[in-house]
Structure 1
Amino acid sequence: MLQAFVRDVHAGRAGLIRAARRAYLLGLVALALPGVVLGGLLVLVRPLSAPLPAVLLLVVLSVALSLVALRMAHTAAKNTELPARQAALTAAIQAATAPGVPVLLACALLSEGLAAGLFVVLAVGMHALVWWQLPGWVREPEG
């Protein structure tokens, strides 16, 4: 897997897009994995349910944090002081936070089906947005 990643990083713009998507997915998994373990433990413990206003506040906070993460990733990708490869991979890893925040909140509220489902839908939407935007963030690599 590492050899394919290195090969993609050095295979022009198309390869760099593949490498950035791999880096994004690895970043997302690294962010979400502890949350899934925590969520599983919380399901076993059966915590008290969260009140609806608190869930709605968490949704607003999740959307805001995800949009800030997307903005920061976009800024990193467009940083012309960085080489194209570094900018693309930095942006991809930062972009993993956009769906990662709602995934973590879904895990924290896993014992509450509707709230967890709401965050999963938000995470899927953020993931689709990042996946669609990521190729536009990748510049042609230098020499």
Structure 2
Amino acid sequence: MLDALTRDLRAGDAAGHLRAARRAHLLAFLTLAAPGLPLGALLALLRPLRVEGLATQAGVLLLVTLLAGVAWHLARRTARDETLPVPQRALAGAIQVATAPGLAFLVGCAFLAAPLFAALLWTFALILFVLTRPR
């Protein structure tokens, strides 16, 4: 995957930069998400986190939404930074914006003991992943 990313980056055209940004986005998300499942399973076995009540669920979801929004905003700022070369802007923005869905996925992994709530957070992560994918 890194070879393809490097090849796309060296292509030098807009389509190559877009492909490189998409690969970097996916790679950054997977880097964040990969440890989440085993660590979440371990947490569910040792000290399961339960979400009691709708207000608590709404609070966690609101916190995840706010943190993802901040990550998205900072990534957009980096992607628009005129002091950086275009390829670097695209890659840095794509890598940084992957933290928005990664955060929602990781919080979902922390709540594996509450499968419906974890599924809700993972669905939110999927929506964020699609929305933040470089275009």
- Aligned-residue offset at 1:54: 2.2
Change (3 A) 1:48 1:63: closer
* Cross-structure match for 1:18: 19
CA contact (8 A) 1:39 1:110 kept: yes
TM-score (norm: length of structure 2) = 0.91
Q: Which residue of 1 aligns with 2:31?
A: 30
1:121 partner letter: T
Q: Structure 2, unaligned stretches of length 5 or more?
A: none
CA contact (8 A) 2:9 2:20 kept: yes
CA shift, 1:14, in A, is 0.6
Matched with 1:94 is 96
How many pairs align?
A: 133
Q: Which amino acid aligns with 2:114?
A: E
Q: Which runs of 4+ in 1 moved over 6 A?
A: none
Structure-2 separation of matches of 1:48 and 1:31 = 20
Secondary structure class of the residue paired with 2:34: helix
Return the offset for 1:49.
Answer: 2.0
Paired letter, 2:61: V
CA–CA separation in structure 2 for the residues paired with 1:100 and 1:4? 22
Query: Residues 14-45 of structure 1: CA distance to partner in whole angstroms, max 9, x if unpaired?
Result: 11111111111111111112211111112333
Q: TM-score, normalised by structure 1?
A: 0.86
Whether 2:77 is the aligned partner of 1:60: answer: no
CA contact (8 A) 2:49 2:114 kept: no
- Report if aligned partners of 2:49, 2:113 keep a CA contact under 8 Å in 1: no
Tell me the distance in 1 between the aligned counterparts of 2:78 and 2:6.
21
Deviations 1:26-78 (A, max 9, x none): 11111112211111112333625222222211100111111111111111111
**Residue 72 of structure 2: aligned partner:** 70
Identity %: 42
Amino acid aligned to 1:27: A
Q: Distance in 2 between matches of 1:20 and 1:115?
A: 31
What secondary structure is seen at the aligned counterpart in 2 of 1:10?
A: helix
